[in-house]
Structure 1
Amino acid sequence: MEKGVNLIGSIRTETGIGESGRIAANTFHAAKIPFVIINFEMNKITKNKDKTWITKEVTNPVYHCNIFHVNASHMPLAFEHYGNTLFHGRYNIGYWAWELQEFPDKWSKSFELVDEVWVPSTFVQEAISKKSPVPVIKIPHSVELILSNKMNRHYFKLPTKRFLFLSMYDVLSLQERKNPKAVIAAFKKAFKKNDPYVGLILKINNSRKRPQEIEKLKKEIKGYKNIFLINEVLNRNEINGLLHSIDCFVSLHRSEGFGLGLAEAMYLGKPVIATNWSGNKDFMTSHNSLLVNYKLIKIGKDYGPYSFDQIWADPDVEHAAHYMAEICANRKLAEDVGLEGQKTIRKHFSPNEVGKQAKQRLKKLGLIID
């Protein structure tokens, strides 16, 4: 078999795991790592319309190494679908994310399907390493955004003269973890109800999958003319344009495996206010971000894959409100923090830099050659 990588995952889906696969493709392309893509449609819930890398798609594997951008929870499905035809006789790598400190025992069988695991952050590496019988290697997401001049505030029907905060999440990543209600609460504490000089944008992906959650959020912001809800699907170019249009990104997450939206905002030079815990700490410091205090609490209830007995962060809403008010009033601070964040991401998380790390590991394993 030839030296190179078969990249397997839901590469066309408009989800976090789909974006993860597309980022990997961009990283391999930048590093000149030979690769092809096998698009694995895990479910019919999400749309499969992103054809950025369609020219790389094949039906059958070409290379000796498989890298699955398929989380541990879905690895058995991948094996069920492809079987030994894909897995046998190849070096199998699972690129997995997980958002809490304890990796679930119920997914331990997935280790039997891989020779090693790659992860996007130190936080995920520590969680999975405690349970893994195979090597767990940190290869972060690379960050690179292409902008279109057409996608400005007018395009999104947003006010042109306000200082705009943005918080965005996918309902399939669970509202309870992404914690948008805390962002709303912080904004309400920081600014008056109809302050004409500021605004908060809530961008929600896949909102139709959880309509009851959206209705609850609408009640939270009812009567606030300076809180704007965007819940239609935006393509990648539109997301980039929206990030470029705002003044500050806010994430009061309870936990992140990496925090891609935060890193993307930083790439564009936007100041970021975020919970000082979990995967985002690999690229966020007190010099390049505004990090919000928190306390660790028990989840207390099962939410999707997150069991009641695990812990996550409870960010300090008052502290976040203080930062929101401060960054809006002090434009020099906003500029300085944004510039520092941009330097960090563009230096350490570029496709070329991350590509070098992936290439080095694959060469060490004898899976590619120069």
Structure 2
Amino acid sequence: MFLLGLSAWVRRQSWLRALYRLFPQRLRDKVSFMLAARASRRAHFERTPAWSRPLQAQAEIAAPAIARDDTPGVNIFAYLRGQFGLAESARMYGRALIESGYPVALHDIAIDLPHGLDDRSLDAHIGEDAAHGISIIFVNPDYLDEALKHIGQAKLKGRYLIACWFWELEEIPQDWLPALDLVDEILVATAFVEQAFRRVTDKPILRVPLPLCPVPDSGLGREDFGLAPERFVFLVTFDFNSWIHRKNPFAAVEAFQRAFPPERDDVQLLLKSSNGYRHPDNFLSLLALGARDPRIVVRDEVIDRAHVHALQRCADVYVSLHRAEGFGLGLAESMALGKPVIGTGWSGNLEFMNADNSCLVDYTLVPVGEGEYPHPPGAKWAQADVEHAAMHMRRLADDRQYAAELGRRAREGVLHTLSPRAAADAIAARLRDLSAASATKRAGADAPSGPPIMGSH
């Protein structure tokens, strides 16, 4: 805490900041990285004995009541062991298809990325087989060419290729556009992402909301996370690798402090981040904010999903004052637990959030700042109204009956909208349509039987 306090003090001294800027950039970066790495280690959760208990494994994929032989199979290429959003999305779609009885071949893409790659929940189903005529690849356009080379032509030639992509702004980046020539179709999880891609392509787009699959719970309680049992806890989670200005935790801090004066000590705000040391300046700024208010706790580390799920259970409210979201998995998972959520009323989270099941926060659209996020010229995103967010925080903390009812409606809404069976059936229906169209085309051309032929490979 001494280093953090010293760093915060230095940042407040204009003469020291001016002197610091005289040092070479490489030296400044090295100092910031060292400070952030040490601060990140200090910001880990303190381990109680409960942390050493064996974790409950992800539930085995349930054997389907009926194996569906009325639908063509699909290959799924993804970072199936990745510990980040796109990898988790692939596992969720894959699990939904398998548990619904549809034939699926899972293939892991082992590309080195700045993320954890230790999720083993689908290892029993991952193999090298890719015999189906249709494939879905969960790799964003900026890594697509590298991923296709990793997979190899032998597994791709003659396959109809669907890319599942997420994006957070209304405009697709120009450097993503060449990737459209490498795929035949796009799978998206929200109408927001669908509309963005429809502006730049006439290729088919299949919208299937992300299926919420069961998540194991480590069983940790509030005391294991250092949370006061009697306080009303607001939770914010984010990964620094996902761009802090997009996730915008600073707005949550401001809203919390506007909602509750310093003397009110029955509330708590937990900012749970990961990879802070990789982004030292922003991380140290966030820690400095927390150091000035004992009710604000900052924890930074990658923890198992079972622990994240337990943390969501222990919180009273989940908060996301994001500037843009492609989906908003933390919001959806918390709603599925029956938790009230506060979220910016813009972008992908509106696929499952509405004024009846959530606290939607007003916003204004503002330009994306230079260096805040990869974006085309003129791109805008949402700036949440922190006073409106503060109003929601106060109401939820002061009216527990209202909070409980909102949580009940939240759970009911997402379990319907984000149903695994509905997602699997929607994808399967598209696979059948593609197979039928391919068969018709082959019959008309008097061609031999085979998988759908891609036009772009």
What's the TM-score, normalizing by structure 2? 0.77
Secondary structure of 1:37's match? strand
Within the candidate set 147, 151, 167, 1:78 is matched to 147
What's 2:43 paired with? none
Contact between 2:209 and 2:351, CA under 8 Å: does it hold in 1?
Answer: no
Give the whole-Å Cα distance in 2 for the aligned partners of 1:207 and 1:278. 25
Contact between 2:172 and 2:376, CA under 8 Å: does it hold in 1?
Answer: no
The CA deviation at 1:91 is 1.0
Within the candidate set 103, 122, 125, 2:172 is matched to 103
What's 1:341 paired with? 410
* TM-align CA RMSD: 1.8
1:277 and 1:122, CA in 2 relative to 1: closer, same or farther beyond 3 A?
A: same
What's 1:152 paired with? 221
Secondary structure of 1:36's match? strand
Identity of aligned residues (%): 33
Within the candidate set 253, 261, 270, 1:201 is matched to 270
Contact between 1:28 and 1:34, CA under 8 Å: does it hold in 2?
Answer: yes
1:17-44, Cα deviation, whole Å (9 max, x unpaired): 1111111222112322211221112324
The CA deviation at 1:93 is 0.5
2:139 matches 1:88: no
Give the whole-Å Cα distance in 2 for the aligned partners of 1:110 and 1:175. 26
1:163 and 1:17, CA in 2 relative to 1: closer, same or farther beyond 3 A?
A: same
Give the whole-Å Cα distance in 1 for the aligned partners of 2:369 and 2:303. 34
What's 2:234 paired with? 165
Secondary structure of 2:136's match? strand
Amino acid of the residue matched to residue 238 of structure 1? Answer: H
| Greater mean alpha carbon deviation, residues 74-83 or residues 235-244 | 74-83
What's 2:55 paired with? none
2:122 matches 1:27: no
Within the candidate set 102, 112, 119, 2:188 is matched to 119
What's 1:309 paired with? 378
5+ unaligned residues in a row in structure 1: which ranges?
none
Contact between 2:209 and 2:417, CA under 8 Å: does it hold in 1?
Answer: no
Contact between 1:194 and 1:225, CA under 8 Å: does it hold in 2?
Answer: no
Amino acid of the residue matched to residue 166 of structure 1? Answer: L
1:308 and 1:51, CA in 2 relative to 1: closer, same or farther beyond 3 A?
A: same
What's 1:135 paired with? 204
What's 1:7 paired with? 76
**Structure showing the higher strand proportion among its residues:** 1
Contact between 1:121 and 1:279, CA under 8 Å: does it hold in 2?
Answer: yes
| Greater mean alpha carbon deviation, residues 27-36 or residues 266-275 | 27-36
What's 1:225 paired with? 294
Aligned pair count?
367
**Structure showing the higher helix proportion among its residues:** 2
Give the whole-Å Cα distance in 2 for the aligned partners of 1:102 and 1:264. 27
Which one has the largest radius of gyration?
2
| Greater mean alpha carbon deviation, residues 225-234 or residues 40-49 | 40-49
Give the whole-Å Cα distance in 2 for the aligned partners of 1:100 and 1:144. 26
The CA deviation at 1:236 is 1.1
